Amino acid sequence: MAFEKEPMGAADVQHLESPSLKSHHAPPQFQQGNEAVLLRIDAGAEAPTSVKLAKDGHTVLLPQPSDDVNDPLNWSWRKKHMILFIVALSAFCGDFGSGAGIPCTLPQAIEWDMDPVHVNYAGNLNVIMLGVGGLLWIPPTYFWGRAPVLFWTQVMGTFFTLGCCLTQSFETFYALRALMGVTLTACQVIGLSFIKDMFFFHEHARKIGLWAALFLLSPYLGPLLGNFIIAGTGNWRLCFWLVFAVCGFDLLLIILFADESWYRRDIPYEKQPERGSRLLRLVGTWQIRVHHGYFMELWPSVYRLVALLLKPVVLPTLLWYGLSFMWAIGINIMSSILLGTPKESGGYGFTARGVGYIYFTPVVAVILGEIFGHFFNDYLANRYTKKHHGIFKPEARLPTCMLAICLMIPGLIIVGQTLARSLHYSAIIIGWGMYVFGVMLGSVAITAYALDCYPNGAGEVSAWLNFARTVSGFSVGYFEVAWGTASGYDVSFGIQAAIVAAAAVIMVLLYIFGERLRSRGGPLTFKGTS
């Protein structure tokens, strides 16, 4: 096997002394135990020799980059962020395709002479497959590689979307929507692995925010554009042609720029396998050639999902996320019915175009949530490390979740009271906006927290969080309207707000006891990964 021995290009790295560090991991003196790390060295403090720091001269680079230019941590800023954009756009395609189908329900029901509620089952199935599919794609990222999973799932998802554009029967459409969900969900879970591979510890929250913002926009941007298309043309297939175009553009970017980010830090760079052609890494033949001794075997790759789920912190984290996020998916699935109910039946009687305009609310809320969280998460982390002598612990992420809860609860109450009392639709904009703003803040914070708790399980963390949000939200689509009609929307949304409030207890307990739970469960360690 040939080896590469090129020195790293360290434009963004500063050494305290000579770059003689041979270990590819953080020096032991920076590991404080139980996933606590020394993240900052203040001016004048005594620091270990040969430790690589960020440009500010204080922030410790974790993990410590190798001297290999092929180490993803040493890739150029342009390459890292192009791949970050690609995986974010790939994640966008999944929920964008799901959301774009929401305004198609009524015209499809007319074309196929079916009950709109029955037609909507295809959308519900698509949502559940977004969650199930996420679990299926994690093992291949360990025994085959990140890049081929990214490439082939996008190829399949693009062609399944084309099938939805061309089909003439509901039965075929129903099956294709399920296959769309299974394939296009891949980067909603493997995206976190790319971020972990390419960026340092102190960069994670911001990069997670950029990645999450794009795919959290998608379930709202899909219906927004779809409603305008339906209002202007009445042709539901054009909505799926738009999804097909976005998927095709993303596939083109993958072919032109994507690369394999799997890198074994426990192998010295002198013994790393020759990387060869980027296109061979993209389609997966390079990974097959160097598989033995470099990638994981099948069973350990599958067992990782189970091992993470058994950690004491994980189930409470998933429960909080599911109970808090589920109402966003439920509202999104049933929005056209909720807002399009005729005025004489007690609704708002919005046209498809009117519903499209209402969808600017969650889109703007996600953007504002990303802008605020982009700086607020870093502020909390820096504040914590300064107060604790440079030591950072994962629980420092959780106050953002508490802030999110304080926005989600009144947001749901406002929406429910507005629907029940037929108040002006501007109140829906305020309430929905508050809730989605909170969802954006909470999603980034809880993802960063789980990744900090188990940094060696980025893919598994993302897969289970994605499963929690989609499975919980999938169920709401079946009872949201019937519940509100029977009990009143003030009651149904009030109970939803109460559930979010009750889930806040989980967050308080995690903040207080999370460190002890992590200590009891131990770290997530697997041979052959870093």
Does residue 349 lie within any of the structural domains? yes
Q: Mean pLDDT score of the chain, rounded to an integer?
A: 86
Q: What percent of the chain has pLDDT over 70?
A: 88
Check residue 407 and give its pLDDT: 96
Evaluate the omega torsion of the peptide bond into residue 316 and state whether it is cis, within 30 degrees of 0.
no
Adjacent-strand bridge partners of 52: 15
Does residue 367 lie within any of the structural domains? yes
Cα–Cα distances (Å) from 261 to 83, 188, 273, 290, 467, in that order, read 10, 16, 14, 14, 24
Counts for the chain of helices (H) and strands (E), in that order:
20, 5
Question: Do 35 and 461 contact (CB within 8 A), yes or no?
Answer: no
Give per-residue pLDDT as tens, 96-141: 999 999 889 889 999 999 988 789 889 888 988 998 899 999 999 9
Q: How far is CA 4 from the centre of its chain?
A: 34
Give per-residue pLDDT as tens, 397-452: 999 999 999 999 999 999 989 888 888 889 989 999 999 999 999 999 999 999 99
Give per-residue pLDDT as tens, 451-461: 999 988 889 99
Does residue 57 lie within any of the structural domains? no
The CA-to-CA distance between both ends of the chain, in Å, stands at: 22
Check residue 382 and give its pLDDT: 86
Q: What percent of the chain has pLDDT over 90?
A: 58
Average pLDDT over residues 34-50: 59
Does residue 13 lie within any of the structural domains? no
Give per-residue pLDDT as tens, 347-357: 788 888 888 89
Do both 322 and 177 map to the same domain? Answer: no
Query: Which amino acid, one-letter code, is at 391?
Result: I
Do both 377 and 485 map to the same domain? Answer: yes
Check residue 12 and give its pLDDT: 47
Query: Which has more confidence, 273 or 374?
Result: 273
Of 35-49, 204-218, 364-378, 472-486, minimum mean pLDDT range: 35-49
Do both 241 and 374 map to the same domain? Answer: no
The SS3 call for residue 389 is: coil
Last residue within a domain, chosen from 303, 320, 353: 303
Does residue 387 lie within any of the structural domains? yes
Check residue 28 and give its pLDDT: 46
Query: Which amino acid, one-letter code, is at 236?
Result: W
Do both 413 and 499 map to the same domain? Answer: yes
Do both 292 and 319 map to the same domain? Answer: no
Phi, psi of 166 (to 5 degrees): -100, -20
Furthest CA-CA distance within the chain: 77
**Nearest alpha-carbon partner for 70 in 144, 8, 145:** 8
User: For residue 499, how many C-alpha atoms fall within 13 Å in the half-sphere facing its CB?
Assistant: 17
Do both 324 and 240 map to the same domain? Answer: no
Q: Tell me the C-alpha distance between 44 and 59, whole Å.
A: 14
Tokens, residue 229: 């298309």
Question: Do 41 and 1 contact (CB within 8 A), yes or no?
Answer: no
Q: Tell me the C-alpha distance between 469 and 6, whole Å.
A: 43
Do both 212 and 254 map to the same domain? Answer: yes
* Structural domain count, the chain: 2
Contacts of 165 by beta carbon, 8 Å cutoff, 6+ apart: 237, 240, 241, 244
Does residue 286 lie within any of the structural domains? yes
Average pLDDT over residues 334-359: 79
Give per-residue pLDDT as tens, 61-98: 888 888 889 999 999 999 999 999 999 999 999 999 99
Cα-based torsion angle of the residue sequence 221, 225, 226, 232 in order, rounded to the nearest 10 degrees:
170
Does residue 21 lie within any of the structural domains? no
What is the domain-level CATH number for residue 92?
Answer: 1.20.1250.20
Give per-residue pLDDT as tens, 277-306: 999 999 999 999 999 989 999 999 999 999
Do both 174 and 297 map to the same domain? Answer: yes
- Could you count the other beta carbons within 10 Å of the beta carbon of residue 379? 10
The SS3 call for residue 182 is: helix
Check residue 116 and give its pLDDT: 83
Of 19-28, 156-165, 231-240, minimum mean pLDDT range: 19-28
Is 23 exposed, middle or buried, given 0-12, 13-18 or 19+ CB atoms closer than 10 A?
Answer: middle
Do both 337 and 451 map to the same domain? Answer: yes
Domain that holds residue 131: 71-262+275-303
Do both 363 and 396 map to the same domain? Answer: yes
Does residue 98 lie within any of the structural domains? yes
Do both 510 and 465 map to the same domain? Answer: yes
Q: Tell me the C-alpha distance between 312 and 519, whole Å.
A: 9
Do both 380 and 461 map to the same domain? Answer: yes
